[in-house]
Amino acid sequence: MLLFYRNLKHTRNLIEIYRSYHPFRNTAGSCDFNVKGPYFSSRYYCSGKSSDEWTEDVEYLDESGSVIYSGKGIRSVEPGLDDHVMVGGLKKPILNASAVAKLVEIVKRWRWGPEMETQLDKLQFIPNMTHIMQALKVMEDSDASLSLFRWAKRQPWYKPNDACYITLFDKLNQSRDFDGIQLVFDDMVLDSGENGASSLFNAYNRVIQYLAKAEKFEVAFCCFKKIQESGCIVDTGTYNSLITVFLNNGLPYKAFEIYENMEKAGCSLDASSYELMIPSLAKSGRLDAAFKLFQQMKVSNFRPGFGIFASLVDSMGKAGRLDTSLKVYTEMQGFGFRPSATMFVSLIESFVKAGKLETALRLWDEMKKTGFRPNYGLYTMIVESHAKSGKLDVATSVFSDMEKAGFLPTPSTYSSLLEMHAASGQVDAAMKLYNSMTNAGLRPGLSTYTALLTLLAKKKLLDVSAKILLEMKAMGYSVDVNASDVLMVYIKDGSVDLALRWLRFMGSSAIRTNNFIIRQLFESCMKSGAYEQAKPLLETYVNSAAKVDLILYTSILAHLVRCQDENNERHLMSILSATRHKAHTFMCGLFTGPEQRKQPVLTFVREFFQGIDYELEEGASRYFVNVLLNYLVLMGQINRARCVWKVAYENKLFPKAIVFDQHIAWSLDVRNLSVGAALVAVVHTLHRFRKRMLYYGVVPRRIKLVTGPTLKIVVAQMLSSVESPFEVSKVVLRAPGDAVLDWFKKPIVQQFLLNEIPSRADILMHKLNILFPTSAPEIRSLSPPKPIFAGKAM
C-alpha cells in the first residue's frame, strides 16, 4: 500500500497517511508496537510510564536501506489513564466516536467472557458513562450489551445513569428478554439504594411499562411494590399500564388497588384507562366509584366512549338505581351515541324487575321506533311481567304481536298468561290458551294445570275438570294431589254433592286421595246433614288404618245432641258405632245397668278417664265432657251426668271452676262450659256447698255463680223453679251466705240437689228439654280450642 517518495515532504505525507489509516495503532492493546516491513526497520517502544520524555528516534529507510527521514517519535501515554495521544508535539484527544467504535469493536469480537473483559481492561483511554450509553445504543445484540454493562458496573468510574438503564431496557425488551429485564431491575434497585431512587425515575417506570405490556403482570406488580418501597415516584403512564394489564387479565381488584395508589399519588387516568376502568368498576359493583370516574373523565375533557355508557346503564339498572341509569342513557344520546339493542334489553329488563312497567313499555316502544326488532327473550319478559302484574290487556296484546312476529311462546309465557286469566276467573280465555298451548305441542307445567283445575273447580265445571285431569295424567304427571285439591275446593265451598261426585270419579280413575281430605269430606257431609253418605266415608277412613280421635268422635256426638229427627238419630248412632273409638264403648257401658257393667257408675267413669293421656288430649277431653254432659242431661241421666262432672273435676279438667275463699266468698265459674255441663256443675257444686255449710257449720258471707251473659238465663230459670235466693246481675248470680243456708234447709231444695225429684215432675227436666236444643252456649262449646285441636286435625 505504501509508495516510495524520495523527498522528505513525500515521506512525511506517507507517515501521516499511515497514522490516519490506523488511528489507534500506536496506542492499542499491548505496550509493544513493532513497525516492521520492507520499509520500516526502527522499533517504537512504549515505556509504560507517564513522563515528558520523548521516545527514541525513528528512521524511515528506502529500499536500499538508506535513511530518508529521522526524527523524534510519539510521546508515551499510559493506557487506561490518559485521554489523548501525542502526534509529534501535539496532543490529540480521543474522540467519543472513536472510543465508542473501539468499545463496540471489542464487544462484537469477544461478545462476553473473561477474554472480552481483558481486552476492555487494556484500553489506552478511560471510558465514561457517555461512551457506555452510546455503545449500548449502537449494539443490536442484547447479550453483548448486557456484558458491556456488567463490565462497566465493576469499574471505579461507573455511575448509575438513568439513560443508560433505559437504553439497556429498550434492548432487552426488543429481544423479549424479560428475565434479563428483571435481573437488571434488581441491580438497579441496589444502585438506587446507594445513589437515590429519584435519579433512576424514568428507568424504573420503563421497566414496569414493558413488563405490563408483555402481560407479565405478576412480575410487574412485584417491581411496582419495590419501586414504592424505594421511594421512587411512579408516573401516570406506569399506573395506566398496570391497570390495563390487570383488567385485561380479569383481575379487577388488583387494578382497583393500583387505582387507589394512583389517587393517593395525585395521578390521573388517561383516556384508554378510563375506557377500561369505568366498565370494570361498574361490573364489579363499585358503582359509586365508577360514576365518580365517569364525572372526572368528563371534567378532564375526555370524551366517554359507548362502552362506558353501556356498562353504566347496564350496571346501574341491574343494581336498581334506575334514575341514574336513565340519566346516563339520556346523556349518552346527547353525546351522539345511538342505543344498541343490548342496551334496550338491559334497560327494559331492569325496569321490569323493579315493577316499573310503564317506563319499560315506553322504552319498548322507543326500541321499536329506533328500528330494533325485539327478540324472543324480550317478548317473553314483557308478556310475563304484565301478565303477573295483572295487566292482562297489555300482556295479551304483546302476546299477539309475538305470535305475529313468528315467535313460538315458551311454556312459561303461556303459563303466566293462563294462570293470570285463571286467577281473574276468565274461564274462556284460560281454556283458549290451554288449547293453543297443547295444539302447539307444548307441555303445560304443573303450576299451569293446578291453576286451571282450581279455576274450573271454583266455577263448578266438574266434567271439564275431569277431562283436564285425565289429560294431565296422560302427560305423565302424578295427579293425586291435584285431584285432592279440586276435592278440597268443593268441600270448602260446601258443595257436598259435587265433592261426592268428584270422589266417585277419582275412584273410577284409580286416583287416590288422603285420609285428611276424606275426614274433611266426612265432616262436610255431617254439617250438611248428609248422614247416609257420611257413614261410608267414615268406614273408608277407619279401614285405611286411620284412627278416629276423641275430637272427631265428640263432633259426631254433638250432631246427635242437636238432632231432632228419629231417622237421623239412627244414622248418627250407626256412625258413632262405626268409629270404633273407646269413647263409644264407654258411652254404651254408661247406659247399661250395673249387672251388665259389673261395677258402679262412678268407678266405671273413673276407669275411662284414667285411660286418657291428658298431655295430648286434655283439650279434647274437656270438649268431650261438655258434649257428653249435654247428651246425658237431655237423656235425663242426671246421676250419671253428676258422676262424669265429679270425675272430670277430680282430674282437673276444669281447675278454676270452684273457688273457696274461706269465710268471705265461695264461687262457681261455668262460663267455659256447655249448657248441660253448666247445669250439672251448678247442681253438684251447690250440693257440695250445702254439705259444707250444714255439716261443718262454715257459712261464707256470699256465694257467687259466674255464668256469663249467655248461661245466665238458663241457670237462673233452673234455680227459680226452687225459689232460690240468688239475685241476677249482668254475668253473676249472687246471694248472701245466710240466705243460702236457710234455702238449703228446705226439703224441696234437698231433693233437688240430691236428684230425688219424681220422674213425672217438670220442675227441672221440662225446662231443660225446651231450653237446651236451641241454646247458644252449646253451639259455642262445640268449637274446640284452636291451639290444641288444629294439630290433632292434621
Q: Is the dihedral of CA 414, 417, 420, 421 positive or negative?
A: negative
| pTM (two decimals) | 0.54
Q: Are strands 67-72 and 32-33 parallel, antiparallel or unpaired?
A: unpaired
3-class secondary structure per residue, 298-326 = HHCCCCCCHHHHHHHHHHHHHCCCHHHHH
- CB contact at 8 A, 313 and 343: yes
What CA–CA distance (Å, rounded) separates 264 from 269? 13
Give the position of cell 262412678. 602
What is the rounded distance in angstroms from the CA atom of residue 661 to the CA atom of residue 667? 8
Residue 779 confidence (pLDDT): 35
Q: Are 667 and 659 in contact (CB under 8 A)?
A: yes
Beta bridge partners of 87: 90
Taking the C-alpha atoms of residue 493 and residue 457, their distance in angstroms, rounded to an integer, is 10
Residue for grid cell 321506533: 369
pLDDT at 198 over 70: no
Residues 566-602: pLDDT tens digits? Answer: 888 889 999 999 998 898 889 888 888 777 888 888 8
User: Coil, strand or helix: which one is 705?
Assistant: strand
φ/ψ of 702, rounded to 5, equals -150, 160
Q: Please report the pLDDT score of residue 725 as a whole number.
A: 92
- For 32-40, the CB contacts below 8 A with 24+ separation are 38/63, 39/2, 39/63
Instruction: Provide the sign of the torsion angle of the four alpha carbons 43, 49, 50, 53, taken in this order.
Output: negative
Dist CA 329 CA 313 (whole Å): 6
Q: For 612-634, write each residue's pLDDT tens digit.
A: 888 888 888 999 999 999 888 88
pLDDT tens sequence across 630-686: 888 888 888 888 899 999 988 888 887 888 877 788 889 988 888 888 889 998 889
Of 175-184, 216-225, 429-438, 771-780, the least confident: 771-780
Instruction: Give me the residues paired with residue 91 across strands.
Output: 86
Higher pLDDT, 710 or 483: 483
Alpha-carbon distances of 318 from 315, 328, 657, rounded to whole Å: 5, 14, 65
Size of the chain, expressed as the number of residues it contains = 794
CA angle 229, 233, 238 (to 5 degrees): 100
Closest CA to 100 of 140, 142, 129: 129
Residue 329, classed as helix, strand or coil, is: helix
Give the model's pLDDT for residue 440: 81
Collect all residues with Cβ–Cβ distance below 8 Å to 608 and sequence separation of at least 6: 582, 583, 586
> In this structure, are residues 434 and 444 in contact, taking their beta carbons and an 8 Å threshold?
yes
pLDDT of residue 291: 86
Give the model's pLDDT for residue 767.
40
For residue 780, what pLDDT band results from cuts at 50, 70 and 90? very low
| CA–CA gap between residue 754 and residue 687 (Å, rounded) | 7
Neighbours of 350 (CB within 10 A): 25
Percent residues over pLDDT 70 in the chain: 66
**SS3 readout for 672-712:** CCCHHHHHHHHHHHHHHHHHHHHHHCCCCCEEEEECHHHHH
Please compute, for residue 229, the number of CA atoms within 13 A of its CA located in the half-sphere on the CB side.
9
Contact 123, 80 (CB under 8 A): yes
Question: Would you state the CATH architecture of domain 656-776?
Answer: 2-Layer Sandwich (3.30)
Closest CA to 73 of 51, 49, 89: 89
Bridge partners of 665, per DSSP, are 661, 702
Residues 14, 2: Cα–Cα separation, whole Å: 7
**Measuring CA to CA, which residue among 85, 111, 89 is closest to residue 98?**
85
For residue 57, list its beta bridge partners: 72
pLDDT value at residue 195: 55
Instruction: Give the list of residues 6+ apart from residue 263 with CB closer than 8 angstroms, or none.
Output: none
- Higher-pLDDT residue of 387 and 112 is 387
DSSP 3-state of 280: helix
Q: Report the C-alpha gap between 588 and 561 in whole angstroms.
A: 15
**Residues 51, 78: contact at Cβ < 8 Å?**
no
Name the phi and psi angles at 705, rounded to 5: -120, 105
Q: Would you state the pLDDT for residue 217?
A: 60
CA distances from 363 to 339, 346, 611, 625 (A): 11, 11, 73, 70
Cell numbers representing residue 124 in the block = 489506552
**Poorest-pLDDT segment among 51-60, 271-280, 767-776:** 767-776
Q: Where are the domains of the chain?
A: 656-776
Angle at 549 between CA 544 and CA 550, to 5 degrees: 155
Strand partners, 704: 667, 734
Place of cell 512525511: 12
Average pLDDT, the chain: 74
- CA 68 to chain CA mean position, Å: 106
Half-sphere exposure at residue 537, Cβ-oriented, CA atoms within 13 angstroms: 25
- Name the band, by pLDDT with cuts 50, 70 and 90, for residue 215: low
CA 116 from chain center: how many Å? 68
Q: Would you call 136 helix, strand, or coil by DSSP?
A: helix
Of the candidates 403, 428, 399, 404, the one whose C-alpha atom is nearest the C-alpha of residue 416 is 399
Q: Is the pLDDT of residue 763 over 50?
A: no
Is the CB of residue 705 less than 8 Å from the CB of residue 662? no
The angle formed by the CA atoms of residues 613, 615 and 621, to the nearest 5 degrees, is 60
% of the chain beyond a pLDDT of 90: 7
The three cell numbers of residue 304 are 366517554
Residue 759: per-residue pLDDT: 36
* CA angle, residues 256, 260, 266, in degrees to nearest 5: 135
Three-class SS state of 23: coil
User: Cell 231417622, residue?
Assistant: 567
How far from chain centre, in Å, is Cα 162?
53
- Under 8 Å between Cβ of 685 and 659: no
Angle, CA of 341, 345 and 351, to the nearest 5°: 145
Q: Which residues pair with 735 in a beta bridge?
A: 703
Q: Is the pLDDT of residue 81 over 70?
A: no
Segment 361-381 shows an average pLDDT of 77
Top-confidence residue, 391 or 34: 391
pLDDT on residue 254: 74
Average pLDDT over residues 372-378: 75
| Residues 684, 657 contacting (CB under 8 angstroms) | no
The predicted model gives 64-87 an average pLDDT of: 59
At 144-197, the pLDDT tens digits run 666 666 676 666 676 666 667 776 676 676 667 666 676 666 667 666 655 554
